Structure 1
Amino acid sequence: MIYVNSLLFLPFDELKNIEVAAKMSQENSVAIHLRKGDDYMQSELMGKGLCTVDYYMKAIDYMRKHINNPHFYVFTDNPCWVKDNLPEFEYMLVDWNEVSGKRNFRDMQLMSCAKHNIIGNSTYSWWAAWLNANQDKIVVGPKRFFNPINSFFSTCDIMCEDWISL
């Protein structure tokens, strides 16, 4: 399936983002987004429905089985959570862009530059995967995107038909 996007980001003007985007284009890059900030973790509505460590490990294993020599890039609003909770695996932590403020779109933009995406149950990572222009991309997302408390939402309403649900 081919997606045509009319939304475009401003060009990168930060050297580190320019360098990493170029590197991502030269390898089998996989962007992994983990939404684990205090605003989500402490929320009754959101926190109890966040993707688990088990989901992320299954998604990483899926990518390893389907992509030759994947290079993982981790994007998160809580790097300490990632270091404390994800088992050891080789990745680059992208922690230099603003999580909030005028340039908070830079992580989304950089995630969209990866060849493949592992998304969390966050519309921020969903948009990064949607805006990824790689026609051969693999996108892995959670089977349960929304917290069951939000019974008026359905995962089938958000996951694209060619994305992998785990």
Structure 2
Amino acid sequence: MGVLRCLVLVFKRIFRGPKWLQNYQCMSALGAVALMGFFYGAFTLGKMTRRKMSVTKWQPVYLGEQMRRDPKISRNHKLFMKWQKGFGNQLFQYASLYGIARDNKMQASISSNLELWDIFKLGDDVVNDYKDLPYLSRPRYLEKIGRYDKRTQFLNYNLDITLVGYFQSWKYFETYKDDLKKHFTFNYDYRKKINSYLKRIPGFKQGNKTRSTTLVGIHIRRGDMLDYNNVKLGYTVADEFYIQKAMTYYLSKYTNVVFIVASDDPEWAKQTVNQSLRKYYMSHQNRKSKFYPKARYLNNNTREFDFGVLSSCNHMIMTVGTFGWWAGWLAGGEVIYFKFYPRPGSDLAALFTPEDYYPRNWIGM
């Protein structure tokens, strides 16, 4: 109404005074009207834009427990993820997205471009329609870095929400681990190659985990963890003493152990594992059993193949990184992890909560 009143006053002034003055005033008035219209339009558009982008201010991304009990709340909305790079990282993101969506009775929506679709038999209850809405048009939930955030149990299911972060905690999906192990079953072509390799190991039976032979996977990551900037930040790598100690644990507890080793530093891994086997054998020569422990090395294979073989083992030794973490989680047996990651007192350690990252039954050494 204020703008209309100004327009009326302007046009009243146009028709006062001499004709030459009226023409001059008309041009000035029209210019003033155009300028006022421009600012009014910009103000209105800006207000609408702010309202759209501030949706999380008026409709919070997470709700209180009391609001969750409201039966009027609609629960038909979707939960998305801003995907990061890295095979193990994406497994964490997928599992956490699935778990958080189930907790909130929302629909997990996965990008059709995600490579996991080509590798695994992902669940039928996961929707492949990520492109329905542009990323910036949805309210976003940012994780608390390096720790489990229980607020994810109370998301606002009146909204379509995008999760932003890595969400690397077993607690996000522990309730649904049986479902996820089915989701992370390899597709037929991958499964065929993996089983073909495993069947060549003495004691392997019918494509399942062995009975007479105990398979222990070892994943050794070094490579980028030794870069100067990563070391400065707090990343560490497992040393030969850790590998030897972890291997001795399994050799002392199980019979007919065969280690299957994958590493981004195959020469170091082979030297370290072979040395550990020799030391164990020499220190146990007085035993009646003459079994010499064996190791097999995965070299020049695809990432998916190595992961499939490791996750098919009975037990697992991981060093650092999400690749080894997931191989151990899917193996389902005993998992030993390197407990001196990250470096104590480092910047990375300040953002890391071990009890949120490693399941309770895993063994730190």
Name the TM-score, length of structure 2 as normaliser.
0.39
How many residues align? The count is: 157
1:119 positional shift: 0.7
Rounded to whole Å, the distance in 2 between the matches of 1:121 and 1:32 is 11
Select the residue among 303, 311, 314 that pairs with 1:115. 314
Identity score, percent:
24
Rounded to whole Å, the distance in 2 between the matches of 1:43 and 1:35 is 16
Select the residue among 185, 190, 212 that pairs with 1:8. 185
1:19 aligns with 2:206: no
- Counterpart contact for 1:29–1:116, Cα < 8 Å: yes
1:142 positional shift: 1.5
- Matched residue, 1:65: 252
- Counterpart contact for 2:225–2:236, Cα < 8 Å: no
Greater relative contact order, per chain length (Cα 8 Å cut-off, separation 6+): 1
Tell which deviates more after alignment, 57-66 or 4-13: 4-13
Rounded to whole Å, the distance in 2 between the matches of 1:13 and 1:127 is 17
Rounded to whole Å, the distance in 2 between the matches of 1:62 and 1:31 is 13
Compare the two structures and name the one with the higher helix fraction.
2
Rounded to whole Å, the distance in 1 between the matches of 2:189 and 2:343 is 34
Tell which deviates more after alignment, 8-17 or 111-120: 8-17
1:154 aligns with 2:353: yes
Larger Cα-atom Rg: 2
1:36 aligns with 2:232: no
Give secondary structure in 2 for the equivalent of 1:144: coil
Q: Deviations over 1:39-96 (max 9, x none)?
A: 2222432585111111111100111122122111111111112234442523101113
Select the residue among 125, 138, 144 that pairs with 2:334. 138
- Matched residue, 1:101: none
Tell which deviates more after alignment, 24-33 or 82-91: 82-91
With over 3 angstroms needed to count, the CA separation of the structure-2 counterparts of 1:115 and 1:12, relative to structure 1, is farther
Q: Deviations over 1:16-56 (max 9, x none)?
A: 6332233353320000010022x222243258511111111
- Matched residue, 1:96: 300
1:109 positional shift: 1.5
Give secondary structure in 1 for the equivalent of 2:188: coil
Residue identity in the other structure for 1:143: K
Give secondary structure in 2 for the equivalent of 1:105: helix
1:122 positional shift: 1.3
Rounded to whole Å, the distance in 1 between the matches of 2:185 and 2:194 is 16
1:156 positional shift: 1.8
With over 3 angstroms needed to count, the CA separation of the structure-2 counterparts of 1:48 and 1:162, relative to structure 1, is closer
Rounded to whole Å, the distance in 2 between the matches of 1:112 and 1:45 is 27
- Matched residue, 2:64: none
Residue identity in the other structure for 1:36: R
Rounded to whole Å, the distance in 2 between the matches of 1:124 and 1:43 is 22
- Matched residue, 1:78: 265
Give secondary structure in 1 for the equivalent of 2:259: strand
Name the TM-score, length of structure 1 as normaliser.
0.81
Structure 2 gap ranges (5+): 1-173, 278-293
Residue identity in the other structure for 2:197: V
With over 3 angstroms needed to count, the CA separation of the structure-2 counterparts of 1:17 and 1:96, relative to structure 1, is farther
Tell which deviates more after alignment, 141-150 or 152-161: 141-150
Structure 1 gap ranges (5+): 99-103
